[in-house]
Structures are given as C-alpha cells and as structure tokens.
Structure 1
Amino acid sequence: MTARVQKKLELDFRAIGSGLRSGGLIRSSEVLGAVDDIFKAREHGYRRIDECTLLHVMNFEAAQPYSLTMARADLVCIQITIKGAYNRWIGDRMDLVNPNMVQISNTPRSVSDTQAGARLRGLLIVCERQHLLDHFRLNADPIPPAYRPIFLSRLGTPDALKLPLSSASIALVDQILACKYPEPLRGIFIGAKTIEIICGIVSQIHALPSRGLPRVVGARSRIQAIELAADIYRREIGNPPTIEQLALRVGLNRNELTSGFRDVFGLTPHAYGHMLRMEEAQSLLRVGRISISEVARRVGYEGYSSFSRAFHAHYGHAPSVADLLPGE
C-alpha cells in the first residue's frame, strides 16, 4: 500500500488578522486553499476575538497527513488540546503537543506535523505579545527566566512554557466546542469565553510558585475536579483516557483522583468509567437498532469477544440485542 504524501500548508497569522473584523470568521479554505480533503469538520477556520487576538477552534479529524508552516512574528500562541496530539517543530527542535498541558510559545515561525486519522479537539489562541502585557497586565516575574522571552522579546524562544490544564479551562473549551448558537451570537459567546480563558491563564502564571507548578488544592476545587473527570468519562465513553491522562487533564495526581472518586462515587476511576460503558452498552442493546459488534465499538471495545466478557462479568449474562434489565 502506498503511503499518503504529506500535504504542505502555509499560514500567516498577521495576514489573517489584518483581513478580519472583531468577531469575524475566515474559513481555512480562504487562506490555505482547498482543504476539504484534509480536515473533516463542520467548521475549520480562524476567528478574530478583538483587535489583537485570533482564535482557531480545533474540532476535526485529519483525513490525510499534513504539515502546516505558521508565520507568527511577535505573537504569543496559547495551545490547549483536550484530545489528540501532533508534532510541532521550531527550528530543529520538536515538541509533542498533547492533551496534558497548556503550551505557550512565541517564535517567528513554527511547523506542525499531523498524522492521518488524528482527532484533535481544543483551541489555539494567538495574541499580540504586547497586548498580553498591557491589556491583561501580565507580570512575567514569576515565570522561570528561560521562558520569559516568550512575553518580553519579539523573537521569543524555541522553548514552550507548559502549564497544567486546569479544570476551569477545560470546561470553557468544552463550552466553546459545544456552542450551537447561530451568528452573531456564536461569535459573541466564543469571544467572551476566549477572553475568560486568557484571564485564567494569566492568573495561573501570576500564581506560579518559585518551584514546581500549580496544583488543584482545597476540598471544593478537588470535588469540582472529580466532577469534571466524571464528565470527561461520560463524553469520551468510546475512547476513555487513561488514569494518568485524566489526572493531568483535571489538575490532580493519580492518588488524589483515585481517592476523590472513592469519596464522591464509591468507586475507583477505572470502575466508574467501566460502569458508564456497560450502562451505555445496555441502553444501546435495548434499543436494538445496531449490531452487538457496533455496540462494542461505540463503548470502546475493539471486538465482540472482549466486550462480551466484560458485559458478562458486569451483568452476569452475555449481551444480546434488545437486552432488558432484570425483572422487565
């Protein structure tokens, strides 16, 4: 089988910004050419939030491999990825952009390589560096010296500042991705949520300790993080994250996540996620409109055998179409 040739794309964020009014949206096909064969998405483009800020909503599957070269001089890029991963090159340095962190960078040029089949969900916020300093009053003093050029230099640095992805940021990204308002309400809503995300990240930077990274603390924040983790399990039932991935996404360590699930739900995270998958499977089987193999796929099992064993262990009998609860 012949491997697909990686498609080369080029993008200039300043050129995009100069052609957009606040709240306006420019579709990728207008700046990248014909891309319908690359991005499987309802909407793929770039939105102007204000005179100094652009937003790219990532909610698509890559139908073929592509390499995107981005001109981004004196622009701070805030990458928040909820799902999926890709490689970013700055010069000869390569970083994996994954769902575990907020990655903040500033360099005149970068290249992103994405594999075919990658499903990406998240946001890219592109903001004038000076706007962050002046409008949001960003104070770079708490930032480790190696990363201060991101905010204090026009040329930036090849290194990206990586921060924990807070539960608040995840919730805001999810609200943007789920927004169903028509224009202009959609633009207004997304703009407000984007500014809220930037405010949260600036606050997170200001709270950086002298060593290490901020963590979720306090009983109330911990419960919110557990509830967010449970919501992630519900939304990603067909491809649930690992315990380590889930802990990073909600700002807890593995022990805090496990003990929190026991306190709130009386189950470990794994057992809670498994319960949701079995309940969804039984619901699909009771409707009886799809095959058992398709039910297995929708709840995250590669084949009938592994799904059947899991279902039998959970309910005490093998799965069947139009499966009923005991006593019905």
Structure 2
Amino acid sequence: MEWSQSIQGMFTWDPPAQPRRVAPFSGSSLNTGHRWAVQWGPFVQGDLADLNLLRDVIRAYDIQAVIHFAGHAYVGESMRDPRKYFHNNVVNSLNLLDAMVDTRVKHIIFSSTCATYGVPQEVPIPEHHSQSPVSPYGESKLFVERMLNWYAHSYGLRWMALRYFNAAGADPAGEIGEDHDPEPHLIPRAIKAALGEIPFVEIYGSDYPTPDGTAIRDYIHVTDLAEAHYLALAAILDGGESAALNLGTGKGHSVREVIAAVERASGCHVPVREAERRAGDPPCLVADGTKAKELLGWEPRHSSLEEIMETAWQWHASQSHVSSCVRAAQVNLEAHGGANPRAAAD
C-alpha cells in the first residue's frame, strides 16, 4: 500500500508452487504519491494511521504478506522536523504490525536504509556493522527494524529488512519513474538542471575526505531493487530465516561523478552550485552485498551508472517541455523507442 507517503504492497499468493504467482493490492494516501503510478491490482486510498481500515483491508482482500515501503525518506527534512518522521515512520509502522498480528498475517518485507549505519567505520559496510544513525530518518528506520525483531520473537512474524543504498534509475520500458515535488534527490535534480527546469544542481559539501571532495554513494537501480523484494518475500514464505540485508552494488560514485554521468547520458551541460555540507550526510556509504547473494541468490544486473543514467534520463526527458536541450533529448528518446507514460495515464 502507499499509505501515508510511499508505496506499500499487500499480496495474496497461490498455494505453494514454482514459480509463485502474486495477486498485488496497493493503496495510498496520495499525499505525495500518484494514482497513475499504481498500475497493477486493486487500489484503496487510506492512511497507516487508521488501524481499523488496515484490519478491514487485510480481511477484505485476504492479504497473506506485506511489503512495507510507506514512510518519509528525506534526511535533510528529518533533521528539521524529526517529529514528522517518528510519527509517520515509527508510530504508523507500529499500527501496521498490530493490524498484521490482529489478522494473523505473518510475513513482511520492510524498506529500511543504509542510513541506519550512520558514519561507517568500514567500507563496504556489512550488515553486522554497528548501527548509529546520524539523522532522525535513519533512527526511525532502525526503530522499525527493532520492532520487527521483537514482534517476530513474540508473535511469530517472519520478516526481512532490506537496507537500500541509493535507489535510482527508472523503468527501462518507460512506464514509471521518479516524480517528486519538490525533488530532493541528486540524479533527478541534475537531470532537471540539464533540461533547464531548474537553474543548477547543488553540490552539498566539497571538502569530504574523498578523492574529489564530494560525498560517495552506492547507486542501485530500481529494477534490481524490485527483484530483491520478490526474492525476499518468496524466501520467507518458503520458511526462510528473518534477516536484514544490504541492497547495493559494492561500488561507490561521488557527486561529481554522478553529475558527469548525467552530462554523458544527456549530452547537456549540468550547471552546479557548491553549498555547505548537509547535516546528517556521511562522507561515504557503500554496501557489502554478500549476504543478499547468499540468502536470496540476488545480484544487481542493471545498476551500472550508465544504465541508471540512461533510464533516468529517458524518463525525465519524456516529461519535459521547457528546455533548449529538450529537442535533443526527444531525439535521443525516439531513437530508443521512448514514450510519455504520463500522457497515456492522464
């Protein structure tokens, strides 16, 4: 369901067989999400704060498993308004777990984050690394991981917490992509700057202890993330152990490297403006993904920086109508068979 702020899925499964078939259900408060982005299965508008609605929906749709993406997800905003993050990410997640216990739903996949680690003492970061968040966002996700562990102990839940590194890219078929208002993320902001939709993209901090002075992150394509969720859910439904898993590539890219990759993908110049570091941003976050490979057989297949940028650029350029670079972008899109999914959805 996309209750509160983000997408959340609830699923019914056929009797055990291979391959599994899934009947998806989704919902949203539509506070920041988009109805056109929900393209599969029934949809209900609602809020995780409404415990009675959660119970009713689970019973009405015979829900057997949950993928919980819902929550606020901006580090900077969480530093300014921690109350918002703890209420939505923690309190409302507790409502969901209570609804699951009340309706005897035993399986959940949770979208966690590498922000639970804080400033890493070793890179790549393994799952057993200490968790000392430096932002309310990371702290709120860690609270939910701990709740999952205790609910498993007391109520028999099976769970996996998937610690995303930096989710990026867009559907290769062009059906869905990143669309936030306002847009805080580096890659879409760099693309918007290339398209002339914003005057520049900010580089927050150029004095980090990294080769070019800018922060380093591990970027993982959303297609690879989607596959990991399916494999994780299948694993716990088949009796696999509960676990927290990193989802990343094991390769880091600096802010300047990402901006250069946007310029290569677009053929457009990306204006930049250097700014002070943002509170809550560690210098370097790169995943050790060994455990996900061992437990799920999962490895990223679409997460080269080039493929991430190509799919992200095609998506954003297909939505744009305002830049002197747009004509070149549209030519590039047509050469790749691109389309405008929003126009079709509207």
* TM range, smaller chain: under 0.3
**TM-score between the two structures when normalised by the length of structure 2:** 0.26
Q: Which has the higher contact order (CA 8 A, sep 6+)?
A: 2
**TM-score between the two structures when normalised by the length of structure 1:** 0.27
Larger Rg belongs to: 1
* More strand, by proportion: 1
